[in-house]
Structure 1
Amino acid sequence: MKKSKRPKPSNIENEVDRISDLPDPILHLILSAVRSTEEVVRTSVLSTRWKYLWTSIPSLDIDIYRRSALKTNEFKEFVYWDIDEIIELPRCLVDCDSLEVLNLCLNHAYLSVSSFTGSRTLKVLKLDRVGLFDSELEKFLANCPLLEELSLIDCLAYAYLSISPPNLKTLRINNRGLSEKERYCEGLMVVCPKLVYLEYGGYMGNEFSFNAKSLKKAVIELEYTEYKDEIAICQLFSEVSHVEYLSGNYIFIQKSKRPKPSNIENEVDRISNLPDPILHLILSPLRSTEEVVRTSVLSTRWKYLWTSIPSLDIDIYRRSALKTNEFKEFVYWVLANRTQDLDSFRLSCSNHYDMPTIGRWIHLVVMRKIKQLDLTFCFEDIDEIIELPRCLVDCDSLEVLNLCLSHAYLSVSSFTGSRTLKVLKLDRVGLFDSELEKFLANCPLLEELSLIDCLAYAYLSISPPNLKTLRINNRGLSEKERYCEGLMVVCPKLVYLEYGGYMGNEFSFNAKSLKKAVIELEYTEYKDEIAICQLFSEVSHVEYLSGNYIFIQ
């Protein structure tokens, strides 16, 4: 490793193995960066401290292709896949009372689970390129009472599948890697009373039955399909139209190879007769609000449909040929013609407009009970301090706020906090530490905070009472612009921490509920090692710890 610039060690330091004195979770982190299990095992010769350390590493990675010079009989295969062989997993997995996550990739070999009556502990199941027998899989899934997440990726060869785990929350089905002849299944029935997220990609079967009233988010990306499948597609979209978030493509409305329509069909605009939620879904993949507005010329049915779309996305960079004053008029016109409340508004306008103009636009979207606001702008005078309009302080609907200010300074002195804000992302924003601390402490519902390449504050305290996710990244800054001298995190409900870039000189961390930490540090001088060691020691209790080990150079 590269020799760091640090004071010459004393005799005491020479006699101490500082790395070996680190706690096991930190040593596990160091070993996790090693390429393979074979190389990890080699560390057992370093010292008595390391002799058996590899046996407690929570993951193994053994690959015969990394040891191509090894004779076959010397390499004890964990699995041998025969594409024509029906694979039966060992009986011990049936009785395993600790298995929570099972991921299988069989390269389209067939899997039999006839000996599996179910699993009392399994929470996550992912099957990738697995040939399945529908009746066996149905029985197995129905007897997994704790299963919360199921992914079926490019699986094939079953006719009709019923999915009904009682506690399933996430379902992913994707068959884009199969040809249409290998299509997923003829019929699919989903009966999951607690399902909240559905992701479906690829070809559709001929029949589709869906019962999940608790569903909140659906992502549907269909491949081109023949006319005979349109009934199932319409049924799918109609049964998920109640969700809070619906995303998908609209390839299914492309001209398909279908029988010549009758005179009655010629007189009916089948697309325009679809309900508004489906038409909104058709419009949602369009790249920008400008393109959505253009659909108003299609027919009377579409003339004002765009005004009820729940989201707006306006970006001056997409309309580079548009003059500055024309773009300004377009934004006013779009906001003035809104007939419904707004879920989200994204605006990117560079440095072409002053704060009073941007403030008026913000006021118009606040009047539409905006839930998510995403703003990217800056001013020619980089020393100008930006103050967001007062209406945002009193907005009782705003839940998500994303700001990118190209390193302009932001003052939140007029913001005493937010009663509704749940997600805050600040990207390239100059901050005043005392103002931000006060604001964050008075956001009782804030659950997610991201500070990306922000700068110029000395000491920051982060203490939102309900914060669950914290991301801090300053890789885009030079070391002189490093994030802050000191950072204090006091978040009793924090479960996820992501820290990337340079460290400050002081670090105080209090989050006993933390479960996952991802730490990627840049090369740092010796004087910061105390803060780094303190950071790692205070997150060593987490269930998942990931990072680099440049700090030990």
Structure 2
Amino acid sequence: MANSNQDRDEVDRLSELPEPLLLQIISLLPTKFAVRTSLLLDRRFRHLWTASSSLELDRSDFPPGRLFNDVTSRCLRLRDPSSPLLRFCLKANDLNRPFSINLLSNWLNRAYSLGLRDLSLHIHSDTIESLFPLILSFGSLHSLFLNAFDFNGSISYYSFRPLVPATFPLTQLKYLHIKAKMSNSDLKAFIMEQRNLEYLCIEHLRSHELILDLSSQSVKTLKLICRVKDHGRICLSFPKLEFLDLNICLYYFYYYGEMPVFYGEMPVLRKVQIETLSLPEERVPVLCDILKSITNVSELTLHIGEPYPKYLRGYKGKMISDGFDIFHPLVEPGKDMLTFPNLRSFKLSMCFYENALQDLICLLHHSPVIDSLHLIHVERPSDYQRTCWVPEVWHSKLPLNSEGNRNYAHFSNLQTGDKKTEVIKLL
């Protein structure tokens, strides 16, 4: 009884909050929790969830059958027309229960009639492709997230080929996130029409031959997640871009193909994060091309990831490793280190073997105003111990910090006196 009275008191205190504040709280919750919370409130607030500015439904929360469709239809039908529905999120990656395009179209039209601004769809790529013409007609959308799944529930392996006409009403987007393998021509045409776009995220995975040629006159933040194999090409033209987040996997399959190409025009870029899953020696020129495109940055975070051994064909065709410290990860063979005239903060995460430290020292010499340096040592994978020759200097080069930790070092105020010179001597 004591617990029951305590719960009732807590509900009563929640019900005493002003209705606008209660509505704001409920709008932050997924719909299933918003409904449950409304039912716990005072009777006059039982239908408060119907005025929530957000509707988020996930089919995985429902048992097989028509219940999810019925609940979604009912939620949209019972909406309070006087309260705008600003955000609609639909998640349904269970492909054993396909959606009716007509039903989805009715849901989207109903949501749009209620003042929809932010749309998020996590459904099969074929379904999104069929709905794309309807989505393009929603001229007042400010945010769009399209997450396309294929037949096994993972991100779509096949091309997402929506028809993008020469003109369409959907041109007010400020936020665009596409997680699918959309063709370059369609993606380029779609983005170029977005004159108000400020945030762009492209997750372009499982590509056999990635080609991205993107440009925008308005985007200020770009996040790109992709995998580049032989013959790949990434060309970026973003005159107002301020922040670039690049997560790139550089494949190499032990045969000589055409080298991937990266080219960027980003004149006002100030902050960059680059992460590579691994870096084989043959792909160092690609990383150098990326660095060449961002030499004007003031903040740079570079994570190279696990060291990638150079494999040679050994006895009876077996692949053996020739070690890790045989190539320079930040300097293209036969070329000088790039100059970073505005770089003030540099965070570098990699395996600090001897040649890698030489590249770091070279970069510091070519960064005249650098003031902050973070170094994080990436250990070799444990299974390399059995198959790879490991140099003796593996742990010996990264300087000790105040706690005696060789895996992390931080140097600040490098512009004070001769501190930068002293740090270079330590390295």
TM-score by length of 1: 0.45
> Residues 457-476 of structure 1: CA distance to partner in whole angstroms, max 9, x if unpaired?
xxxxxxxxxxxxxxxxxxxx
1:126 is aligned to 2:177: yes
Tell me how far 1:47 sits from its aligned partner. 5.4
* Structure 1 partner of 2:224: 173
> Residues 391-437 of structure 1: CA distance to partner in whole angstroms, max 9, x if unpaired?
xxxxxxxxxxxxxxxxxxxxxxxxxxxxxxxxxxxxxxxxxxxxxxx
1:317 is aligned to 2:403: yes
1:64 is aligned to 2:150: no
Tell me how far 1:298 sits from its aligned partner. 5.6
Tell me how far 1:122 sits from its aligned partner. 0.6
Per the alignment, in what secondary structure is the counterpart of residue 54 of structure 2? coil
1:238 is aligned to 2:297: no
Residue 188 of structure 1, aligned match among 199, 214, 234 = 234
* Structure 2 partner of 1:200: 246
1:137 is aligned to 2:187: yes
Identity of counterpart residues, as a percentage? 19
Distance 1:224 1:194 in 2: 30
Distance 2:29 2:420 in 1: 57
1:247 is aligned to 2:301: yes
Tell me how far 1:219 sits from its aligned partner. 0.9
* Structure 1 partner of 2:145: 103
* Structure 2 partner of 1:94: 136
Distance 1:319 1:166 in 2: 45
Residue 113 of structure 1, aligned match among 162, 172, 195 = 162
> Residues 273-296 of structure 1: CA distance to partner in whole angstroms, max 9, x if unpaired?
323549x99984269xxx89x999
Contact 2:340 2:366 in 1 (8 A): no
TM-score by length of 2: 0.56
Which amino acid letter does the alignment assign opposite residue 112 of structure 1?
R
Contact 1:296 1:306 in 2 (8 A): no
Tell me how far 1:134 sits from its aligned partner. 1.3
Q: Which moved more, 1:47-56 or 1:200-209?
A: 47-56
Is the radius of gyration larger for structure 1 or structure 2?
1
Distance 1:228 1:331 in 2: 34
Tell me how far 1:163 sits from its aligned partner. 1.4
Distance 2:416 2:35 in 1: 60
* Structure 2 partner of 1:153: 203
Q: How many residues end up aligned between the 2 structures?
A: 305
**Equivalences for residues 258-269 of structure 1 within 5 A:** none
Which amino acid letter does the alignment assign opposite residue 294 of structure 2?
V
Per the alignment, in what secondary structure is the counterpart of residue 348 of structure 2? coil
Contact 1:148 1:170 in 2 (8 A): yes
Distance 1:216 1:47 in 2: 52
Tell me how far 1:22 sits from its aligned partner. 3.0
Per the alignment, in what secondary structure is the counterpart of residue 223 of structure 2? strand
Q: Which runs of 5+ in 2 are unaligned?
A: 73-89, 93-98, 100-122, 150-154, 251-258, 314-321, 375-399
Which amino acid letter does the alignment assign opposite residue 239 of structure 1?
S
- In structure 2, relative to structure 1, the CA distance for the partners of 1:286 and 1:4 (3 Å cut) is farther
Which amino acid letter does the alignment assign opposite residue 132 of structure 1?
M
Distance 2:363 2:133 in 1: 63
Tell me how far 1:214 sits from its aligned partner. 0.9
Which amino acid letter does the alignment assign opposite residue 20 of structure 2?
P
Contact 2:337 2:362 in 1 (8 A): no
Residue 53 of structure 1, aligned match among 43, 48, 64 = 48
C-alpha RMSD over aligned residues: 5.1
Which amino acid letter does the alignment assign opposite residue 74 of structure 1?
L
Contact 1:296 1:302 in 2 (8 A): no
- In structure 2, relative to structure 1, the CA distance for the partners of 1:258 and 1:235 (3 Å cut) is farther
Which amino acid letter does the alignment assign opposite residue 105 of structure 1?
N
- In structure 2, relative to structure 1, the CA distance for the partners of 1:341 and 1:134 (3 Å cut) is farther
